[in-house]
Structure 1
Amino acid sequence: MSKMLTVAIAGLGSRGGDAYAACQKLFPDKMRIVAIADIVAEKVDFISKEYNVSKEMCFDSAESLFKEDKLADVMFICTQDRQHVGHAIPALRKGYDLLLEKPISPELDECREIIKVARECNRKVVICHVLRYTPYYTKLKEVIDSGIIGDVVSVMAVENVGYYHYAHSFVRGNWRNSDETSPMILQKCCHDFDMLLYLSGKTCSRVSSFGSTYLFKEEKAPTGSTERCLNGCRVKDNCPFDCEKIYIESDKTGVRNGYTEWPNNVLTLHPTEESIRKALEEGPYGRCVYHCDNNVVDHQVVNLEMTDGSTISFTMSGLTDKISRYAKFMGTKGEIIADMGTNTIDVCEFGKEHEIIDVAKLSTDFRGHGGGDSRLVESFLDMISENKKPSERITSLEASMESHFIALAAEESRLDGGRVILMER
């Protein structure tokens, strides 16, 4: 039986404070939060009260936390992209096993360094590729591995980021500028590369890529737009990216319609129409999407040639209505169309009737990345408490690294006009 593990969390944003901390309520016999750190005092205060963390174990930064001796069995590192390795390495040297938010780092040397330190310290590191843990992708992996479509020869995959998600996170929000965070293809799509490699069982040999910031830039700004949506913009009624539409009025995300979690709790810890409006008037999320300091791509295609001669094509687009993933796996004996948006897997052996698998019938819990968030945390806790080696399903540091190498190669190719990049081994 798994033992109770004590947990320290560095970074209390949407991932650390909302998704992963909440797992204590789901698994009260497996984890207990005993130490927390964040640069936002309001978040520290809220999480400390929510999970009964003593004041002595609350810190105003990860760096302050690391000045102390080891305070817990494991640590969840959920700080910003370019802080991950700088926080992970001292945590490893303190003796913590880590649940580390993706991406590991946008720098290849840092990716290699953390592997080296983890091995030296004999510590386990699991990367938060939550999709592997979902009922949807678990079933899809099972179907592909059954051999029903034979060898996978070609894959076509699409990540639909969603126009409001893209505007929120990658134009106005924390991941808008790769100089401060990560390239879009790494930050958002290392999930996808991890899944495509895992599902197909393939290894990549060559990568090429194209993409750009097509829409979200000054020269695309409509006549009559203003620096901020609420400052007399004359085109806001016809703009789908208008901040009032997204955060206040929308049926999908508007606080007026009862939505107080993501994305609204990024703007203010306790969203109300009044607090959201104040945040839009004063903060970054009220800026016009055509007048921001963003530089990440809003569309990108990546071509992968695998070592066995099979191929994968992948498209990321921020210009989609829904947030979803879609893939078609074409094999020597049949094909699979996997649509996470509808939670269906369409399996067809050549010459036979299609079988439609309704994944919604396979689980009752699809909260948080299709049910992946909580299953990731539980898998990590069980592995550490039972002192097991990472299984194939577990996104260990070494397993995750391949997705990062591909994403960074894709960005190198994109910046160099689509030049083919050979993957080094």
Structure 2
Amino acid sequence: MKKYSVILIGAGIRGTTYTNKMLALKDKFKVVGVAEPIENRRNNIKNKHGIPDDMCFNGWEEILSRPKMADIAVISTMDEMHYAPAMKSIELGYDILLEKPVAPTPKECADILLAAEKKGVKILVCHVLRYTLFFKKVKKIIMDGTIGDIMSVLHVEGVGNVHQSHSYVRGNWHSEKETSPMLLAKCCHDLDILQWLLDEPCDKIQSFGKLTYFTPKYAPEGAPKRCIDGNCPIEDSCPYNCRKLYYESKDNTWFRPACTRGISKADIPTDQEVMTALKTTDYGLCVYHANNDVVDHQTVNMQFKSGANVTLTMNAFNKGGRYIRIFGTKGELFAYMDSDKINVYTFDDSKSTEIPITSSDGSILSGHGGGDGGLICELYDYLSGNYSGFCAADIDISVRNHLIGFAAEKSRREDTVESIDEYFASFGLVND
């Protein structure tokens, strides 16, 4: 059995998660190098995998300036930093596990696809929802013909009010100028899932959405620029009070390390380091006085070649979680991702059936409902040429699904209905 050697470029939450899964598959993967500018993250990977000092680098430029040193490059840098290391890795001949989104612009996505095809390297994109037990079960129900041909789909991505404030108001994805549009940052998963479930080309797309609530217009009168400045009229009741979310909630192993990036060198930051972050970074800003520009609600309408219609709704104003309703010619399917069952109603017998699934917690802290592990398990077979599954999203499939998202953004900005055939053609691709 071949064991694949791996270098990790970007040792944040996603990169660490993927390499942790590889560590559990020691007969298949061996992480031999890491590139990460934050010392404690770099050392964490070094120590877990027994990586020698001379294979630890401060950034992707350093590790990719060397001759090819492994079979696979895992690229899990920030969204806006995928393109350059991906292109250099392709040039060096690495097969790649690439975090989504592929790149923040449609041209860069197309460039990566065309470069990979020319070089003959394999790229698997981390559309981890495909590998969850939940969506695999939904896909199988469709493939089995239980609900017939799909006529319409309603898919809701509930971001969650607190998740929105952390990631898309104060956090890493608050600005599409610095990263990518929120539809790509958050709903790249969902756009991919919908294409995968319908398994046919999208014909036309239209989108509406705005940043409405997390703006100065909704700020309480007298609200300070920073929560910790005091004298906020809703300090005790505000669900976005940064003192409560980051300082007082000491067991939050996601929020506290995230807000102290660049301040703390430890895996668990101190209260003093958290307070420094709240005084000096965007994580301490009032959500109504932040530097955000991404939407807080958006709807995407898609028409597929068969005539099927799909509506994707993404918004911040909920507890959080995904649900999907699929209407077919023989029945309908309804399911919440964080549930342990899928509900199917069939027309021929007028019966509702609950189909059980064994699922991990679908919350934002759960590893995408078990999909992270599923992705790494199938990566091995995909690269070795023995893949017989139906979940893998290679670079060709992924880039096409990304371009549909970019077309939706064009529609939202320009108030148009976009032809996907024409949009693909503008980047030298055929919509098939």
Instruction: Give, as a single letter, the amino acid of the residue that structure 1 aligns with 2:245.
Output: I
Matches of residues 269-348 of structure 1 in structure 2 within 5 Å?
269-322=267-320, 324-348=321-345
Normalised by the size of structure 2, how large is the TM-score? 0.91
Separation in 2, partners of 1:272, 1:145? 51
Counterpart Cα distance in 1 of 2:66 and 2:93: 12
1:267 aligned to 2:265? no
The one-character-per-residue Cα deviations of 1:7-63 (angstroms, maximum 9, x if unpaired) are 10111111112x112113321222121111112223212321232211111111101
CA distance in 1, matches of 2:361, 2:242: 33
Which residue does 1:225 correspond to in 2? 223
Q: Report the equivalent of 2:165.
A: 167
Distance 1:319 1:67, change over 3 A: same
Question: Which is worse superposed, 282-291 or 294-303?
Answer: 282-291
Report how far residue 353 of structure 1 moved.
Answer: 2.0
**SS of 1:7's equivalent?**
strand
| Cα drift, residue 381 of structure 1 | 2.5
Within a 5 Å distance, the mapping from 1:348-359 to structure 2 comes to 348-350=345-347, 351-359=349-357
1:236 equivalenced with 2:235 (yes/no): yes
- In structure 2, the partner of 1:403 is 401
Cα separation, 2, equivalents of 1:291 and 1:21? 37
Distance 2:47 2:302 in 1: 48
Cα separation, 2, equivalents of 1:50 and 1:81: 25
The 1:30–1:265 alpha-carbon spacing in structure 2 relative to 1, beyond 3 Å, is farther
Question: 1:140 maps to what in 2?
Answer: 138
Deviation of the 1:281 alpha carbon: 3.2
Cα pair 1:155 1:327 within 8 Å, conserved? yes
Query: SS where residue 278 of structure 2 aligns?
Result: helix
Contact 1:343 1:358 in 2 (8 A): yes
Distance 2:207 2:388 in 1: 32
Task: Give the partner amino acid of 2:305.
Answer: T
Give the Å deviation of 1:320.
Answer: 1.1
What is residue 65 of structure 1 aligned with on the other side?
63
Q: How many residues align?
A: 412
Unaligned runs of 5+ in 2: 261-266, 422-430
Deviations 1:277-317 (A, max 9, x none): 44323332121111111110000000001111110011001
Give the C-alpha shift of residue 363 in structure 1: 7.4
Q: Give 2:339's aligned amino acid.
A: T
Q: Tell me which moved more, 154-163 or 341-350.
A: 341-350
1:130 alignment partner in structure 2:
128
Question: Could you say what the CA RMSD is over the residues aligned between the two structures, in angstroms?
Answer: 1.9
Aligned residue for 1:209, secondary structure, equals strand
Cα distance in 2 between the residues matched to 1:218 and 1:158: 27
Tell me, in whole angstroms, the C-alpha distance in 2 between the residues paired with 1:274 and 1:340.
38
Native 8 Å contact 2:360 2:369 kept in 1: no
Kindly indicate whether the alpha-carbon contact (under 8 Å) linking 1:194 and 1:402 is maintained by their aligned counterparts in 2. Answer: no
Instruction: Provide, for residues 153-183 of structure 1, a one-character-per-residue CA deviation record: whole Å limited to 9, x for no partner.
Output: 0001100011111111111111110111100
Distance 1:364 1:174 in 2: 24
Q: Do the aligned residues in 2 keep the contact of 1:205 with 1:307 (CA within 8 Å)?
A: yes
The residue type paired with residue 76 of structure 2 is C
User: Alpha-carbon deviation of 1:391?
Assistant: 5.2
CA distance in structure 2 between the aligned counterparts of 1:60 and 1:408, rounded to whole angstroms: 32
Which residue in the other structure is 1:189 paired with? 187
* 1:348 alignment partner AA: Y
SS in 2 for 1:265: helix
Query: What is the CA distance between 1:244 and its match in structure 2?
Result: 2.5
Distance 1:306 1:364, change over 3 A: closer
Change (3 A) 1:176 1:364: closer
Q: Is the 8 A contact 2:362 2:368 kept in 1?
A: no
Moved more, 97-106 or 338-347: 338-347
State the shift of 1:354 in Å: 1.0
Q: State the distance in 2 between where 1:233 and 1:179 align.
A: 32
> Under a length normalisation based on structure 1, what TM-score does the superposition of the two structures give?
0.92
- 8 A contact 2:302–2:311 mirrored in 1: yes
Alpha-carbon distance between aligned partners in 1 of 2:413 and 2:43, rounded to the nearest angstrom = 43
The runs of 5 or more residues in structure 1 that have no matched partner are none
Deviates more, 1:301-310 or 1:19-28: 19-28
1:199-214 maps to which residues of 2 (within 5 A)?
199-214=197-212
CA distance in structure 2 between the partners assigned to 1:244 and 1:359 by the alignment:
39
